[in-house]
Structure 1
Amino acid sequence: MKRTLQPRTRQAGPLFAVGAVALIAATYGLARLGYGLFLPAFSTAFTLSPTVGGLLASGTSVLYCAAALAGFRYAPSRPRLMTLLAGTTAALGSAGIAAAQSTLLFSGAVLVAGVGAGFASPALVELVQRNTADEDQKKLQSVVNSGTGFGVVTAGILALGFGTSWRLAWVLIAVITLAAMIGVLRADTSKDLSASDRSSNDAGQPPRALTARTLRRPVTAAFIFGTGSAAVWVHGRTLLENQGGLPSAVTAGAWIALGLGGAAAVLAAPWLARHRTRTTWRVTVLAVAAATGAFAAAPHLAALSFTASALFGLAYTSATSVLIIWAGRVSTSSAAGTSVLFTSLVLGQSAGSALTGALIDAGGFGPAFLSAAVVCAVGALGFAPRGEQR
């Protein structure tokens, strides 16, 4: 698809890439996904019931979608503002979690902390476009997206290292988030471009080429992928502990392995950039399906659980990078397209969480996880990108 005119690109230095990776790590892996890792400690401190804990997780997903839709509207023309919102909401929410003395204040802080991730992806997709030469953009988009894995690793280390001192851990998360945001904004070279250079992006309107027809296939694929991948994200640790009998320290280690796999997706960036999206989508989502099935195969074997976790993290993060690349192929604005596809992904995860939970209650973990694996396989084979896109 032919793109609209883009502003003159200036190559940003390594600080921009490091800051962008760190901001994704902070907003996704720490401020948003860190909630689940710290949930046992939170439940003790605030006497959270499983129902309340689940409602908070659902609430963060709803607000994530709202922020992502705001990114659809404004990230193409105001990426620095969206970056500022991403960092400040995640940092303020994290600081609020650290300071909260009541369940009400804690719940509000969790919701605020989870909003930042919704702003971050579309903002950074746009800033990468503005700060990177055309031939390097797909590679750097994948590198930045791998930040989620680094964040999950850091969250796991903090959960193990701080234990009952979880408030200090969340102070550190707030500081890391602010530092990453400042690093991105300082290293962004597009802020120095003239108004005429940016005029094509400053119209303030969503791209007209982003239609239901062009988005139907990728939106469906993202939703199905989210539905299938939710089993591991939401119920994976419960499977390993309840079905496999593994101690919580070991399951936390498995989540660190998952994060390391996600961080390793940075090594897959050149491969993702070289190959067709049709190929990369099928390979990465089928790998998620295989890892999901492996979780249920022998949850009592720590070595297999660690391997499955690492494969899941690598494949899942790479698949979301493919979604970013795919968004750039169906839209004149990768930022707006990414907002829509990631919103569909999160909505699919919300549906998948509930469906997997119901299947676990009805037939146990094994059938539920195998069903999730099948759903991922359907998304990989039945809804891959069409054509010869690169």
Structure 2
Amino acid sequence: MKRPLQPSAPTAGPLFAVAAVTLIAATYGLARLGYGLFLPAFSASFELTPAVGGLLSSGASVIYCVSAGLGFVYAPRRPRLMTILAGTTAALGSAGIAAAPSTGFFAAAVLLAGMGAGFASPALVELVQRNTKPIHAAKRQSVVNSGTGFGVVAAGLLALMLGSSWRLAWALIAVIAVAGMLGVLRADVSRRHSTKGADDDAGRRERSGSRQRGLGLGELKWPLTAAFLYGVGCAAVWVYGRTLLEDQGGMPVALSAGAWIALGAGGAAAVLTAPWLARHSVRFTWPVTVLATAAATAAMVLAPGSTALAFAAAALFGLAYTAATSVLIIWATATASSSAAGTSALFISLILGQAAGAALTGALIEASGFGLAFAVAAAACGVSAAGVIARIKPRNTEDELRPSRATP
């Protein structure tokens, strides 16, 4: 059987990584997560009650799962098409928000903009695999995934500088999404090596050995559970963090937005963890990042009126969350037969967990206050970490769940 020639495998240059980070920043940090930061400005311009605003946020999560499901099916074979859909939906949705003449039009644009993130992750996971030597793949996956943090920083800065001119801000977001998409498509060198790409696919199937046929999702049972529990735990900060700082801590809006910029900066700094994530096993990196998320969640609720503690907790949360999602990508790559489909499945589980966590946290806040609600969220993260330690045996960690090395 013909073996793939690894030295001839196409390798994209730095432009590919920069463009991929830009696309993740645009689809996740801006088009998807930017909605919450601009919600006060949106509410002043449209008929958005808190209930309607919450329903839109939930709807965006459902739409994300739909687009991620499409990525699950098509990204392993058509990653460039999924990249086009990621950039196009994020750009058109953002442009629609910028030009929205009515509440109904605005709501439809928000949902369309949220689709981009679901397409982007599986598409870029597959393209990174195709454009990177195996020994560097785990590191580059983590670098690209850090784009979420850069996007959150950009969203926070836009909210502070252009809060009243939010239409201009969202027009700029549309431009960034298009630029990231075009950059990825242009820098993708795998498209010029279709024959070698086919050989590489055959090699990956050959190396899968005893893995089950198809996408290998049966082996993702525990990763899916861990991702869902983590989503339940991290929802408290994502959904109610700013409310905690403003209502309980008495922070002005500008200062709480600053905390979210710190959160984004922490997420962007996760790029520095890429070598560490590539060197260590999932059995070690998942508990560390998830427990760091739990610590940040607990720290934020302990003294919401302390600016220094709130900013530090937000930065730690952003760093830990982004690193943990990078671990999910590495986990999918090491476990599922298709890294793109596996990533889609884990991210869908994560988002569903966040949706469940948002509802649970909201109910607990109403019943018992922020303290208990955030404590339960931190505990959910702890259960996710403990479950992985208990279920993954060290000997498996040394082979199957270690980031990819060079092919022998």
Give the TM-score band, short-chain normalised: over 0.9
Give the whole-Å Cα distance in 1 for the aligned partners of 2:290 and 2:4: 33
2:104 partner amino acid: L
1:290 partner amino acid: A
Q: List structure 1 runs of 4+ shifted beyond 6 angstroms.
A: 4-8
Q: 1:263 aligns with which of 265, 268, 271?
A: 268
Structure 2 residue aligned with 1:238: 243
Structure 1 residue aligned with 2:178: 178
* 1:139-288 alignment, distance < 5 Å: 139-195=139-195, 197-198=197-198, 208-211=213-216, 213-288=218-293
1:113 partner amino acid: A
TM-score, normalised on structure 2?
0.91
Structure 2 residue aligned with 1:333: 338
2:366 partner amino acid: D
Taking a change above 3 Å as real, the CA distance of residues 365 and 77 of structure 1, as seen in their structure-2 partners, is same
Structure 2 residue aligned with 1:50: 50
Give the whole-Å Cα distance in 2 for the aligned partners of 1:94 and 1:9: 37
**Deviations 1:351-370 (Å, cap 9, x if unpaired)?**
00000000000000011001
* 1:1-390 alignment, distance < 5 Å: 9-195=9-195, 197-198=197-198, 208-211=213-216, 213-384=218-389, 385-386=392-393, 387-388=396-397, 389-390=401-402
TM-score, normalised on structure 1?
0.95
Taking a change above 3 Å as real, the CA distance of residues 196 and 137 of structure 1, as seen in their structure-2 partners, is closer
Deviation at 1:247, TM superposition (A): 0.5
Is the 1:85–1:119 contact (alpha carbons within 8 Å) kept by the matching residues of 2? Answer: yes
1:326 partner amino acid: W
2:25 partner amino acid: A
Is the 1:79–1:126 contact (alpha carbons within 8 Å) kept by the matching residues of 2? Answer: yes
2:385 partner amino acid: A
2:163 partner amino acid: G
Is the 2:25–2:151 contact (alpha carbons within 8 Å) kept by the matching residues of 1? Answer: yes
Taking a change above 3 Å as real, the CA distance of residues 6 and 383 of structure 1, as seen in their structure-2 partners, is farther
Is the 1:97–1:109 contact (alpha carbons within 8 Å) kept by the matching residues of 2? Answer: yes
Deviation at 1:382, TM superposition (A): 1.5
- Equivalent position SS for 1:383: helix
Give the whole-Å Cα distance in 2 for the aligned partners of 1:107 and 1:54: 12
Please say which of residues 332-341 and 147-156 is displaced more in the overlay: 332-341
Deviation at 1:193, TM superposition (A): 1.2
Unaligned residue ranges in structure 2 (runs of 5+) = 203-211, 403-408
Deviation at 1:195, TM superposition (A): 4.4
1:79 partner amino acid: P
Q: What RMSD in Å do the two structures reach over aligned CA positions? A: 1.6
- Equivalent position SS for 2:304: coil
Unaligned residue ranges in structure 1 (runs of 5+) = none
Deviation at 1:381, TM superposition (A): 1.2
Give the whole-Å Cα distance in 1 for the aligned partners of 2:200 and 2:134: 17
Percent identity over the alignment is: 67
Deviation at 1:9, TM superposition (A): 2.7
Give the whole-Å Cα distance in 1 for the aligned partners of 2:34 and 2:370: 24
Give the whole-Å Cα distance in 1 for the aligned partners of 2:168 and 2:95: 10
Deviation at 1:128, TM superposition (A): 0.3
Give the whole-Å Cα distance in 2 for the aligned partners of 1:167 and 1:73: 35
Deviation at 1:297, TM superposition (A): 0.3
2:170 partner amino acid: W
Give the whole-Å Cα distance in 2 for the aligned partners of 1:314 and 1:218: 20
Is the 1:85–1:116 contact (alpha carbons within 8 Å) kept by the matching residues of 2? Answer: yes
Is the 2:90–2:174 contact (alpha carbons within 8 Å) kept by the matching residues of 1? Answer: yes
Taking a change above 3 Å as real, the CA distance of residues 27 and 80 of structure 1, as seen in their structure-2 partners, is same
Is the 2:263–2:315 contact (alpha carbons within 8 Å) kept by the matching residues of 1? Answer: yes
1:185 partner amino acid: L
Is the 2:9–2:196 contact (alpha carbons within 8 Å) kept by the matching residues of 1? Answer: no
Deviation at 1:194, TM superposition (A): 2.9
The number of aligned residues is 383
Is the 1:220–1:383 contact (alpha carbons within 8 Å) kept by the matching residues of 2? Answer: no
Give the whole-Å Cα distance in 1 for the aligned partners of 2:151 and 2:167: 17
Is the 1:268–1:318 contact (alpha carbons within 8 Å) kept by the matching residues of 2? Answer: yes
Please say which of residues 7-16 and 236-245 is displaced more in the overlay: 7-16
Give the whole-Å Cα distance in 1 for the aligned partners of 2:218 and 2:196: 32
Taking a change above 3 Å as real, the CA distance of residues 294 and 179 of structure 1, as seen in their structure-2 partners, is same
Is the 1:162–1:169 contact (alpha carbons within 8 Å) kept by the matching residues of 2? Answer: yes
Taking a change above 3 Å as real, the CA distance of residues 259 and 97 of structure 1, as seen in their structure-2 partners, is same
Give the whole-Å Cα distance in 2 for the aligned partners of 1:268 and 1:212: 27
- Equivalent position SS for 2:101: coil
Give the whole-Å Cα distance in 1 for the aligned partners of 2:213 and 2:58: 31
Deviation at 1:383, TM superposition (A): 2.6
Give the whole-Å Cα distance in 1 for the aligned partners of 2:359 and 2:313: 22
